[in-house]
C-alpha cells in the first residue's frame, strides 16, 4: 500500500509541473490577446482567430488533457490545492514579464498558497476513494 502511494505521488509530481505550466501560459496568452470589448456573441468566436488567443486555446486544451490524466489517478480534493501554486506562478510571471510590483501582502499570499499546496501534497495520499466505487 505504501509503495502504491509512493508510485502515485511520483507520477503526480511528474505531471503537476506540466499541468501548471500549460495553464499559466494559456491564461497569460489569453489576457495578452483579449480585445478590450466583446459586444456580440460572434465576437467571442472571431477573437479565437487572433494569434495570442489561438496559442492560448491550444495551451488550455493541453492543460485540460493533462489534468484529465492527472484526475485518472489522483483525488480532485488533492489536485485542487496542489495546483493552486499556479496563482503564485501568475504573480511571479507578472513581475518578470509585465514588470508588476509584488507587495508584501502579495508575497504573504504566495507563501500561504505554497504552504497549503505543500501541506496537501506532502502529508496526504493522492488517492483516497475506494477503487470498487470507481467501477460503479
The site for other proteins (CB under 8 A) is made up of 27, 30-31, 34-38, 44, 47, 60, 64, 67-69, 71-73, 75-78, 80-81, 84, 87, 90-91, 94, 100, 105-106, 108-117, 119-120, 123-124, 128-130, 133-135
**Smallest distance from the beta carbon of 110 to other proteins, in angstroms?**
7
**Smallest distance from the beta carbon of 76 to other proteins, in angstroms?**
4
**Smallest distance from the beta carbon of 96 to other proteins, in angstroms?**
14
Place of cell 502529508: 123
Sign of the dihedral through C-alpha 10, 14, 17, 22: negative
Q: What is residue 11's three-state secondary structure?
A: helix
Sign of the dihedral through C-alpha 90, 108, 96, 12: negative
Rounded-to-integer distance, Cα 87 and Cα 73, Å: 23
Chain CA centroid to CA 130, Å: 26
Q: Which is nearer to other proteins, 21 or 34 (CB)?
A: 34
**Smallest distance from the beta carbon of 69 to other proteins, in angstroms?**
5
Amino acid at each position: 500500500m505504501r509503495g502504491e502511494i509512493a508510485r502515485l505521488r511520483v507520477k503526480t509530481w511528474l505531471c503537476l509541473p506540466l499541468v501548471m505550466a500549460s495553464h499559466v501560459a494559456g491564461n497569460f496568452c489569453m489576457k495578452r490577446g483579449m480585445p478590450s470589448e466583446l459586444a456580440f456573441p460572434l465576437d467571442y468566436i472571431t477573437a479565437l482567430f487572433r494569434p495570442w488567443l489561438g496559442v492560448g486555446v491550444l495551451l488550455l486544451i493541453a492543460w485540460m488533457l493533462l489534468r484529465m490524466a492527472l484526475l485518472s489517478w489522483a483525488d480532485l480534493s488533492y489536485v485542487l490545492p496542489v495546483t493552486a501554486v499556479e496563482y503564485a506562478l501568475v504573480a511571479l510571471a507578472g513581475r518578470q514579464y509585465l514588470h508588476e510590483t509584488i507587495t508584501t501582502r502579495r508575497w504573504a499570499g504566495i507563501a500561504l498558497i505554497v504552504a497549503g499546496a505543500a501541506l496537501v501534497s506532502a502529508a496526504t495520499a493522492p488517492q483516497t476513494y475506494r477503487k470498487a466505487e470507481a467501477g460503479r
